[in-house]
Structure 1
Amino acid sequence: MLLIKNGRVIDPLSHLDQVMDLLIDEGKIIEMGHIEKDCETIDAKDMIVAPGLIDNHVHFRDPGLTYKEDIYTGCNAAKAGGFTTVVTMANTKPSVDCVEVLDELMKREKELDIHVLNTANVTLKMQGKELVDMEALKAHGAVGFTDDGIPIADINVMMEAMRCAKALDCPISLHEEDPALIGSAGINAGGIARQVGVKGASGLAEEVITARDCLLAKETGCRIDIQHISSGGTVDIVRFMKSQGADVWSEVTPQHFGYTEDLVLSQGALAKVNPPLRKEGDRLKIIEGLKDGTIDMIVTDHAPHSKEEKDKGILGGAPSGMIGLELSLAMGITHLVEKGHLSYMELLEKMTINPAKYYKLDAGYIAKDHIADIVIFDPKKQWVVTLDDFKGKSKNSPFVGEHLTGQVAYTICNGKIVYKKGS
């Protein structure tokens, strides 16, 4: 048995917000309230006890690119960030476009001590031309479909994919950047791009294809997720299409609600990410989208790259992407809660129950007789990010040296402590 004492329990599904104890046995919460029990105990006084965090958008680079990350090291990063469930993207090598690749991954994931779920590709080899066998991949355990990293340019292919996904009651998550409107990826088009010597990628590239796919989703009834929104115009489009009844969900990363393109000037290729960090006006619109519910989920888009790759620099062709699992909760507290934009309840809603609802998972909440997936964190702990805080293979974060508020103390999955700060 494990007893969590004196914690402020916050559950976004039931809207519970109360200091109480939780008793855990055989992987489940068996009692809630004031509990006295002689067993292993965590004193959570002055801490928040919440559902284990859920990240619907991570890259573990497994199979094929495991010099950057693999499912085991990716889980280490996730646990340190308070995540008990993550959903991996399918742009691996080979990509997850057939049941053989999916089955091999899922067999190894049974060894892990958190829940790792898998998407499969929408199109074969992510070429945007021919659909995968969606029915077979869902039957073998894929929770959804995505060609994340590459937009699907052919409207007929996209329409057929949505029809198939709708029939299977399975969502499609979409990376929305029209390559025809991108001069160069990873840096916002405009003054900063000119300063660093590249053409950049405009918000229009994201907005145009987002509008197209939202309209297709309304026509087909397919549930879609507009991934890692970066443009204020995209927020407006998603808000409108939701008002029209389209089953459109959306997500944002901490780097996009917390920072602007100016970060490129100080951090170079470490701040290069697809879609790029944009202007302050975009960031403020993203925050408004979080506040009014237009943006449903906060994700990390955890994207490991080796030091050698990032050291090539922007002009040398360094890849886009940054890691984020270990910092996500603290970023949310620092940039959203501490600044009065969201309450803890609202922040946790976007990091637990909403991601669970998107994939129709029985997860993301605290209740008696429910699985004990829990994060315990100190909401007032102030700390400075160091390289030692990153528990995966790669360290490609532009936020080393950043002062943050809020720190994970324990991560509990299936009733077992899988992470304890400092041990």
Structure 2
Amino acid sequence: MNGPAGTTILRGVRPLGGARRDVTVRGGRIVSVTDPVMDPGNGHGASAAADVTTADVTTADCDGLIMLPALVDLHTHLREPGDAASETIASGTGAAAHGGYSDVLAMANCVPVTDTPERVRHIIERAARTASCRVHPVGAVTDGLAGRDLAPLDAMAAAGAVMFSDDGVCVDDPALLMRALEAARRTGTLVAQHAQCPRLAAGGQINAGAAARATGLPPWPATGEETIVARDVVLAGATGGRLHICHVSTAGTVEIVRWAKARGWPVTAEVTPHHLLLTDLMTRDSDPLHKVNPPLRTAQDVAALRAALRDGTIDAVATDHAPHTASSKDNHWCEAPFGMLGLETALPVVAQALGAGDEPDWNLLATVMSTRPARIAGLADTAGRPLRAGEPATFTLVDPRADWRVDRTESVSASDNTPFHGMTFRHRVVATMVEGRVTADIDRRLVP
């Protein structure tokens, strides 16, 4: 990564999609956000600061690029340790930086599972050496994700875990979950639940209904998610422990979360980019690139998810970035693993899903992809910050006229299992900066 030495002047950026501004970065912080001074030679804004000619000043033409606070992902699978063929901390955070992310929460389902304070510290230490963005470990709720014995949550929180989750499997035992929520309350963290009732969704492969009938694959019913969410929000209300619902996928779950929030219970929820854009119609060709857990749902579910994100019932977008090798995905549907890539495509996918005409609501995107995720994870002091003088220079730049066609062979991730291959999106992340360090610069705007 390029270091924060010197001064960078970004000419003509549009913070949160607003008017053009010249933004000056120095020493890892934003030092000014000013109206551009018009240059009669080209009609573009030229900050007075751009007249500085010292060797340590870089002036970048960013005319019309959207500036957003860098994104925060509550749900990333980095696969390290244990599955370097699919992803490593280095490759996964490289993908995150190219997708506009400054911070990712690394899920616990590694090999070995992140279920001890020593393993939490290992993730932190490894990330300090190899990561392109900040990595925050998620500790397992139960030993080995086995659902029988509670992992040492207090000790893992002290070691640096910011959240607890057995994601990939559901914490099915309500008594265990209550104890986990009580520990989360003590430690100021939260529990993230993968809502999948093993008795209702066991063996499920594809959304129940027309998709399952068309393919003949085992159905994964909406009730398999909704019954767990209904139970768990009640437990959160009873304990006061913070509960986060992973990858909400059904209209019914939305209503349960809305009901819980109306009672003031400590419940938050996330939705993935793919559940906001894709429907179960795409699974009818049985291509495992579209196999994900929970499964792609109906158009009616997608509409409910979008509405819930807009009205705040769903708090945040989280990628559930789940890399898998080409050989593992190139199988019969039932043998292929669940999961899709998400980090590099999240922002353009969400912009398209929530866009109205050519211009999405950039304030909304910043809220659901940066500000709220940072707040949920307890990172609001350093991530999801306002774009103003005195704040950390931690932001991403988006080309709103990119017409970018996704090509899986160009993935920065170690894997290429994206369901968006061949699709064209209007918006694309072109650069990311974290505390003044350039972590991604696709068209080399920020690097002299």
Please tell me the TM-score bracket, short chain as reference.
over 0.9
- TM-aligned CA distance change 1:267 to 1:391, over 3 Å: farther
- What does 1:3-152 align with in structure 2 at a 5 Å threshold? 3-10=9-16, 17-34=18-35, 35=47, 36-37=49-50, 38=52, 39-111=57-129, 112-152=131-171
Partners of 1:267 and 1:398 within 8 A in 2: no
> Equivalents in 2 of 1:141, 1:18: separation in Å?
40
> Equivalents in 1 of 2:64, 2:316: separation in Å?
26
Determine helix, strand or coil for the equivalent of 1:380. Answer: coil
More divergent stretch after superposition (242-251 vs 31-40): 31-40
Shift of 1:184: 2.5
Determine helix, strand or coil for the equivalent of 1:136. Answer: helix
- What residue is the counterpart of 2:322 in the other structure? 303
Partners of 1:95 and 1:121 within 8 A in 2: yes
Shift of 1:249: 0.6
- What does 1:356-395 align with in structure 2 at a 5 Å threshold? 356-361=374-379, 362=381, 363-365=383-385, 366-395=387-416
Letter in 2 for 1:86: V
Determine helix, strand or coil for the equivalent of 2:196. Answer: coil
> Equivalents in 1 of 2:401, 2:147: separation in Å?
46
Letter in 1 for 2:422: G
Shift of 1:287: 1.0
- Bigger radius of gyration, 1 or 2? 2
Partners of 1:252 and 1:298 within 8 A in 2: yes
Shift of 1:185: 3.3
More divergent stretch after superposition (285-294 vs 340-349): 340-349
> Equivalents in 1 of 2:401, 2:115: separation in Å?
44
Shift of 1:186: 3.8
> Equivalents in 2 of 1:142, 1:220: separation in Å?
21
Shift of 1:339: 5.2
Letter in 1 for 2:59: T
- TM-aligned CA distance change 1:142 to 1:93, over 3 Å: same
1:352 to 353, 370, 373: 370
Partners of 2:24 and 2:32 within 8 A in 1: yes
Given the two structures, how large is their TM-score scaled by the length of structure 1? Answer: 0.95
Shift of 1:340: 8.6
> Equivalents in 2 of 1:88, 1:126: separation in Å?
15
> Equivalents in 2 of 1:93, 1:27: separation in Å?
36
Shift of 1:341: 10
Give CA deviations for 1:295-344 in whole Å, capped at 9, x if unaligned. 110111000001111111213x1010000111100001112114599611
> Equivalents in 1 of 2:163, 2:358: separation in Å?
34
Shift of 1:388: 3.5
Shift of 1:183: 4.5
> Equivalents in 1 of 2:410, 2:366: separation in Å?
22
> Equivalents in 2 of 1:115, 1:155: separation in Å?
33
Determine helix, strand or coil for the equivalent of 2:284. Answer: helix
Unaligned runs of 5+ in 2: 1-6, 36-46
Partners of 2:409 and 2:416 within 8 A in 1: no
Partners of 1:48 and 1:376 within 8 A in 2: yes
> Equivalents in 1 of 2:106, 2:177: separation in Å?
21
Unaligned runs of 5+ in 1: 12-16
Letter in 1 for 2:440: Y
Shift of 1:407: 0.7
Q: Report whether the alignment pairs 1:2 with 2:23.
A: no
Q: Which runs of 4+ in 1 moved over 6 A?
A: none
- TM-aligned CA distance change 1:313 to 1:338, over 3 Å: farther
CA RMSD of aligned residues (A): 1.6
> Equivalents in 2 of 1:253, 1:54: separation in Å?
13
2:233 to 210, 214, 217: 214
> Equivalents in 2 of 1:288, 1:376: separation in Å?
26
> Equivalents in 1 of 2:199, 2:249: separation in Å?
18
Determine helix, strand or coil for the equivalent of 1:370. Answer: coil
> Equivalents in 2 of 1:210, 1:24: separation in Å?
44
Shift of 1:267: 6.0
More divergent stretch after superposition (222-231 vs 265-274): 265-274
Partners of 1:337 and 1:347 within 8 A in 2: no
Shift of 1:195: 2.5
> Equivalents in 1 of 2:286, 2:351: separation in Å?
23
- TM-aligned CA distance change 1:181 to 1:388, over 3 Å: same
Shift of 1:347: 1.5
> Equivalents in 2 of 1:422, 1:369: separation in Å?
27
Give CA deviations for 1:101-124 in whole Å, capped at 9, x if unaligned. 111121111122311111101111
- What residue is the counterpart of 2:39 in the other structure? none
Determine helix, strand or coil for the equivalent of 1:160. Answer: helix
Letter in 1 for 2:283: V
> Equivalents in 1 of 2:132, 2:82: separation in Å?
22
- Report how many residues are paired: 417
- TM-aligned CA distance change 1:186 to 1:41, over 3 Å: farther
- What residue is the counterpart of 1:251 in the other structure? 270
More divergent stretch after superposition (23-32 vs 203-212): 23-32
> Equivalents in 1 of 2:73, 2:181: separation in Å?
23
> Equivalents in 2 of 1:389, 1:407: separation in Å?
14
